[in-house]
Amino acid sequence: MTLKTGRDGGVATLTLDQPPLNILTRALARELRSSLAGLAADPSLRVLVLAAEGKHFSAGADVGEHLPPTYRKMVPEFVETLEALAVFPLPVIAAVRGRCLGGGFEIAQCADVIVAGEGATFGQPEIVLGVTAPIACVLLPRLASPGLANELLFSGDTISALRAQAAGLVQRVVHDDQVEPEAHALAQRIARHSAAALRLTKKTLLAAADRPRHDALREASSIYLNNLMATEDALEGLTAFVEKRVPTWRDR
């Protein structure tokens, strides 16, 4: 197995388990897709944490699998895996230490929140090998400024966790030995809330992401009126507030 799974109440953890560099093979991508599908269908899940064994999050995909003829299967499979992560129906937190490069950085870009160690480095070195980073070409300009995305994709250089945070790519920077505890503490704070409300918040964010503002506002309103207010938890939460009591979530 190249992927470890863990569960603490409403928080699930998927841990890349191929140290020291956690190279992303087709086998690992297949395990990740399978795990994501199972977790997405779990009505009691509230948050997913992505972590990694060893000093480094991931140095990227297996270069050998990029060569002919394997690349024709590897690239679509990897895109499918990251798409499943990007549209995962609940909040995703990436806990990043050490190197976060290539496909590893693309995985992190699919998370909703990145907690990084102060020694972490981020980059897309594919250009050094004469290839591109197709997923990052799509995601990076949407997450950071187009200028920074261009710099990383054209140069192959890395940036520090602090520069990534200043660019909006990373949300929290902590001591390297506090990355997982910080990520799980945030996950537990999120997990206090209704799973139904968390799912519909994520659905609204995804639905609005690539639409013109007018269309996005209409879609967000529709989800609120037709999906959110049809849940038991929405009525429970609003009623509990009015009655000055702690809500009891049923996650539906």
- 218 and 182: one domain? no
Global pTM reads 0.95
Given 190, 210, 233, which residue is the final one in a domain? Answer: 190
Q: Please tell me which residue in 12, 31, 98, 106 is annotated as part of the active site.
A: 106
According to the model, what pLDDT value does residue 117 have? 98
Q: Report whether pLDDT(1) > 90.
A: no
If you compute the radius of gyration of the chain from its CA atoms, what whole number of angstroms results? 19
- 60 and 183: one domain? yes
- 86 and 126: one domain? yes
- 216 and 147: one domain? no
Asked if residue 128 is part of any domain, the answer here is yes
Domain coverage including residue 123: 3-190
According to the model, what pLDDT value does residue 112 have? 98
Asked if residue 51 is part of any domain, the answer here is yes
Phi, psi of 106 (to 5 degrees): -65, -40
Q: Is 103 known to be catalytic?
A: yes
| pLDDT, tens only, 10-54 | 999 999 999 999 999 999 999 999 999 999 999 999 999 999 999
- 180 and 201: one domain? no
Number of domains in the chain: 2
According to the model, what pLDDT value does residue 66 have? 86
What average pLDDT does the structure give for the chain? Answer: 96
Q: Please tell me which residue in 59, 61, 86, 167 is annotated as part of the active site.
A: 61
- 186 and 199: one domain? no
- Of the candidates 216, 135, 213, 184, which has an alpha carbon nearest to the alpha carbon of residue 10? 184
- 226 and 178: one domain? no
| pLDDT, tens only, 157-180 | 999 999 999 999 999 999 999 999
Q: Please tell me which residue in 10, 60, 98, 103 is annotated as part of the active site.
A: 103
- 10 and 76: one domain? yes
Q: Please tell me which residue in 94, 104, 116, 126 is annotated as part of the active site.
A: 126
Dist CA 204 CA 122 (whole Å)? 29
- 35 and 120: one domain? yes
Percent of the residues in the chain that have a pLDDT greater than 70, as a whole number? 100
- 180 and 206: one domain? no
Q: Report whether pLDDT(183) > 80.
A: yes
pLDDT band with cut points at 50, 70 and 90 for residue 210: confident
Asked if residue 66 is part of any domain, the answer here is yes
Q: Is 61 known to be catalytic?
A: yes
pLDDT band with cut points at 50, 70 and 90 for residue 59: very high
Whichever domain contains 155, its CATH number is 3.90.226.10
Dist CA 195 CA 9 (whole Å)? 12
Over residues 71-83, the mean pLDDT reads 95
